[in-house]
Amino acid sequence: MSTKFRLYQNMFQFFARALPLSGNATVNWKYQRTPSSAFAHPETTTVGALFQEASDKHPGLSGFSLVSQGEIAFIARLAMADLAEQTLDAQYFIWDADTTGRILADRLLRAANRGVRVRMLIDDIYQTKGKDFTVAALDAHPNIEVRVFNPITNRGWRTLSFLGEFGRANHRMHNKLLVMDNALSIVGGRNIADIYFGVRSDHNFRDLDVVTAGPVVNELSASFDLFWNSEWAIPVGAIVQKRPTEQDLGAQKIRLEANIAAAGYPYLIDQQLADLEARLIQIRDNFIWGPGRVVVEQPSRVHTDANPGVIYQALSKRAHEVQRELLIESPYFIPSDRSIEGARQLIARGVKVRVLTNCAASNDMMGAHAGYANTRKELLQAGIELYELQPDTNMKRRWSKLAGKSRAALHAKCLVFDRQSVFIGSFNLDPRSMALNTEIGVMIDNPEIARQVGVLMDEGVAPGSAFHVTLDKDNGLAWTAETNGEEVEYDKDPETSFWQRFMVGVVRMLPIESQM
């Protein structure tokens, strides 16, 4: 960190501490909390016994089922909430107060009313003053406990407080995880918001989750407990001035149901849930079983400096072992010099390295695209096959209910190694995931799962789905795509305006790559 930046940070800290706090909530870091842990006997629940029976037939292995469609991804989460008998543990970077967020929150409330213990752990970066009380109202339910990870201290002056606490607050919990009864879990790239489940009218993500059963669920529960009981998971009561009452919870529930009814939803939720529950045995029998393990960054990363973490090291080790092919899909792709050199060495010994990321027009983070754009020529010169998702990709109909209306973007984070093993999780190949955020994912050593993910990734780089980026004869960038069956070439970032390219160019010159 530069001397000038430290000077600015000290100035922000001074002003943040000097602000009048009257009328503004501040975090009570000493607020009392009670440790808790995952449900110890999942085999005693209905779903737990169902999957335990399958697990017993595959000793030492875990069960996996891919979820690529937004509709199925949402229904799966609702089914877990509706079928839970003992516990629900939800850990998310973003939980929006849109229709998707409201529906899932309502299902958690229903589960709590049945006696299910619900623990919700949400990162604080996208919380707002208004959302604090709304989230705290859920905590008023005797069976629901909500904690906020690494909260900004001054709730009324969030931006200034964030800058004043930058060294700590810049580290975020990027994990996405839901566990039911410690028997079934879903982990991957999706946060809880409309945009992740294909129901936005303007913008929808291509994403990937995996439903898991067996021993890997215990590892995911252990990871949740580690974060839940850490010093950085603060009870929501510690960040509001007034604790909500049961009356506030009742009013919140009425508003929740009214907003859901008024908004409507493009999926036939209840009908599909009933079908899913009726087919539970069939779903279980279609699980693919194989070795799997959880790879997770520790919550202590909040106060540690930026060194490549355990996920980066695990992926690098596995990548260096590949013999034929390494496939990468990452929405924010800003490889380090070390990573590019590692890819160059793989290619030199005959390994194919292929990357799919967002193009300038589909990327929702200008800074991330600017950091990636600085590496494109070097990536191509190293021999990497480079593709960028088209905003109007042919694949939209596969994951978006509103495919004909919305712009597409990539949000899946996965790697396939020789089509024998795969990593799926929350980890982007960018500096934030490598060195700043906490992350989680599963490494699955099963050729069939790897084959299925490989097929999805092959679809992602098809001519009607992505721009193929290459170097032209003058060593400049060129993009090739297919539109209405005809090949189209571009000599600048496709489907962008002069202003967009200008702004990306400005950001590319800023020394902020470590924050992207």
What are the residue numbers of the active site?
174, 176, 181, 411, 413, 418
Which has the closest alpha carbon to 425: 29, 32, 15, 93? Answer: 93
Cα–Cα distance between 126 and 158 in angstroms, integer?
10
Which has the closest alpha carbon to 201: 399, 406, 363? Answer: 406
Return the structure tokens found at 1. Answer: 């960190």
Judge contact between 136 and 236, C-beta under 8 A.
yes
According to DSSP, residue 445 is labeled: -
Cα–Cα distance between 290 and 447 in angstroms, integer?
9
Phi-psi group of 176: left, alpha or beta (phi > 0 → left; psi -120 to 50 → alpha; rest → beta): beta
**Vertex 150 angle, CA 123 and 128, to 5°:** 55
Residues 6+ apart with CB under 8 A from 155: 24, 25, 26, 27, 129, 132, 239, 240
CA 396 to chain centre: 19
Q: What distance, in Å, lies between the first and last C-alpha atoms of the chain?
A: 15
Cα dist from 473 to 263, 377, 470, 489, whole Å = 53, 13, 10, 14
| Amino acid residing at 10 | N
Which has the closest alpha carbon to 55: 230, 145, 184? Answer: 184
Return the structure tokens found at 404. Answer: 């004909």
Rg (CA), the chain: 23
CA 111 to chain centre: 24
Cα–Cα distance between 408 and 396 in angstroms, integer?
7
Judge contact between 401 and 267, C-beta under 8 A.
yes
The DSSP code sequence of 133-167 is HHHHHHHTSTTEEEEEES--SBSSSHHHHHHHTHH
